[in-house]
Amino acid sequence: MRALCILVLGFVASDPVIATVTDDLRYTSYPVHYRDHVPLKVLLARATPRHAGRGMIIVGWTAPKITWKMQLETLADRHCRVHGVRTLLSTTITLPASDDPEISQDGDFRVFLTRLKAHELGHYKIAQTAAAEIDRGISKLPPAASCTALQRKANQLGSAILANMWRQQSTYDASNDHGMSYGDALE
């Protein structure tokens, strides 16, 4: 009977953690309007609602938000373990767009937009990796003496991964001048 009891307790303690990442990607745009004899690069600079100071103009951007919720379970020994994790990655990518055929059908603009979208999807991939890392990391946390301690440890882990993600986003932008190196197609 004792061996059976240990076996049952071992089985209960090793139940797999249910972990899922929900990914919500959306696109939005801001309008770029055509004006005779104004270079496309200037039109983009005038149209964008975002500026980063020091004269830097941002013509596309990715806004990821990662949140997580946990289900915690108190074990027979009063320790607390993660029973389930739900991580949500909600991302909006904003790109320029135009209804003016002089812009929307311009080959240089289309090349630029394709490259800019690829750049922004790079930001999105960095966020996807971070969301998966948070989900995986929290699901693998060992039981703690209390649920409060486990919650704190999980949030510290998630926050550290988010901080690293933002560093990676900055490094990625620095590697290609925030995607503006793709603007060479507009020269």
User: In this predicted structure, what is the pLDDT of residue 7?
Assistant: 30
CB atoms closer than 10 angstroms to residue 6: 10
Q: For residue range 36-51, what is the model confidence (pLDDT) as tens digits?
A: 899 988 899 899 998 7
Mean pLDDT across 153-177: 93
What is the pLDDT at residue 51?
77
Q: Are 103 and 34 in contact (CB under 8 A)?
A: yes
Say which range, 34-43, 63-72, 83-92, 173-182, has the weakest mean pLDDT: 173-182
pLDDT at 56: 75
**SS3 label, residue 122:** helix
The pLDDT tens digits for 133-143 are 999 999 999 99
Residue 53 DSSP class? S
pLDDT-based confidence at 126, cuts 50/70/90? very high
Highest mean pLDDT among 3-7, 45-49, 100-104, 157-161: 157-161
Residue-range domain boundaries for the chain? 16-186
Handedness of CA 126, 16, 154, 71 (dihedral sign): positive
What is the pLDDT averaged over residues 58-66? 94
All residues at 6 or more sequence positions from 15 whose CB lies less than 8 Å from its CB, including other chains:
83
